Amino acid sequence: MTENRQIKFSNLKSFHSLPFLILLLSVFISCKKEIKNTKLSGSVFGTGYHVVYGSDINYETQFDSLFYVLNKSMSTYQFNSDISKLNRNESNVVDAHFVNVFKASEEIYKNTEGIFDPTIGAVVNAWDFGPEGKIANLDSLKIDSLMLSVGLDKVKLIDNKISKPKGAFIDFNAIAKGYGVDVIGEFLESKHIKNYLVEIGGEIRARGKNLEKQSPWKVGVEMPHFDGTQSILKAISLNDVAMATSGTYRKFKVDKDGNRYAHIIDAKTGYPSKTNVLSVSVIAENCMMADGYATAFKAMGIERVKSFLKTHPELKVFFVFENDKKEFETLSLNGFPEN
């Protein structure tokens, strides 16, 4: 594991054949079509997407079709999606996309000892951070009751069918967006496109290089702002990897004493996580795993993540957090790239 860095934020043919070879080369160059980037953008998953790729073919229709299929499979905001029917116990049949995300979720659930848990959905809803709205007069008894159905180990997948406790509410919102990025990236690769960048709501997958600039893809890590404004803290290069960022500064609640509570619900207690972590960015081979681990690491906290990374050198992590003086600090782990 590379050294961790912490920064306080305050900042031979004869010459006779040569003319013939030059002629052939010039003809080849003049006939070769220059490939430029195609840039597409739009709305999906309650956010926006941007795709840049090295081809002159417009794949917007294909992207829209893929997004439709993914929403039909895993959107808790669509009444007739597979996951919504599953959560209402109306159907237990799921598609291949659901299976892919479920298996990745199982892996992260086990690796993080249950800190990442998609079955926390009912509790997320109860706290008014999910699609179904807050439970009125929420108290400890209601939370304890909801927690009885929490635990991904209670959910089983057999032959594209899900078996779960009746009250369990599965929510893949912490990982499905990253999976959507991977689906678009893999589609482009199926069309033999080697240079592209896919971004959905800040989750990114980059392959090859930016053909227009003939340089690696450059992406920004956002500065946390509680007022909704946006600015870039640092810009880094990505090459054949993916990056996801999870932040507590966009979705949070403030109690009567002025304490901020993140939208990340502790899967062990059922209560919002108290944390000094403002955002965590994770670089991994694919965006689905980066997305899931970014969510888990936000709940785990810095010291536990440091320990976790000793056995997971493939993950690179960047924290933005508040110190005891309420000042911003940053921490790079496992060789997260510099500006």
DSSP sequence for 106-166? HHHHHHTTTSS-TTBHHHHHHTT-STT-PPTT--HHHHHHHHTT--GGG-EEETTEEE--T
More confident residue, 260 or 90: 90
Per-residue confidence (pLDDT) for residue 119, from 0 to 100: 93
Segment 252-267 shows an average pLDDT of 62
d(CA 199, CA 203): 5
Closest by alpha carbon to 251, among 241, 261, 237, 240? 261
Phi, psi of 283 (to 5 degrees): -105, 130
Lowest mean pLDDT among 231-245, 253-267, 319-333: 253-267
Question: How many residues does the structure list for the chain?
Answer: 339
Asked if residue 71 has pLDDT above 80, the reply is yes
Can you tell me the distance from the alpha carbon of 97 to that of 176, in angstroms, rounded to the nearest whole number?
A: 9
Tens-digit pLDDT profile for residues 79-129: 999 999 999 999 999 999 999 999 999 999 999 999 999 998 888 878 777
The tens digit of pLDDT for each residue in 237-253 reads 999 999 999 886 555 55
Report the pLDDT value the prediction gives residue 267, as an integer from 0 to 100. 82
